[in-house]
């Protein structure tokens, strides 16, 4: 027997499961976590130039073009991390809801 909360979840998920799987609005789910992660990487990278003298010397020993390339690589890596984390968290959350829905559906059909 399903509880009232489980029945409400099944009704909600039946109505919204396809809409929740697609769309740009979903990006808002995983975006905050991804931005925090990328910000932490930037803070670590740039603070390392202060406390890790060897990294600072290495960065300043390069030509300006190489410095710009390094910063560009770090920015691209951070953007890729943001995109991956966002997409992964969206799909993971959708899969968790879908699994719960399938389990409840099986319990409903069994009883």
Euclidean distance between CA atoms 8 and 15, whole angstroms: 11
Higher-confidence residue of 102 and 32: namely 102
Contact 82, 38 (CB under 8 A): yes
Burial of 95 (0-12, 13-18, 19+ CB in 10 A): exposed
C-alpha closest to that of 71 among 35, 62, 53, 28: 62
pTM of the model: 0.68
Asked whether residue 76 carries a pLDDT value surpassing 80, the answer given is yes
pLDDT of 67 reads: 78
């Amino acid at each position: 027997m399903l509880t009232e909360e489980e029945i409400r979840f099944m009704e909600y998920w039946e109505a919204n499961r396809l809409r929740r799987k697609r769309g740009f609005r979903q990006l808002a789910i995983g975006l905050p976590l991804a931005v925090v992660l990328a910000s932490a990487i930037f803070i670590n990278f740039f603070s390392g130039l202060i406390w890790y003298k060897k990294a600072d010397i290495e960065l300043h020993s390069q030509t300006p073009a190489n410095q710009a390339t390094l910063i560009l690589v770090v920015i691209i890596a951070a953007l890729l991390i943001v995109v991956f984390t966002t997409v992964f968290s969206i799909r993971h959350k959708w899969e968790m809801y879908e699994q719960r829905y399938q389990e409840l559906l099986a319990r409903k059909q069994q009883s």
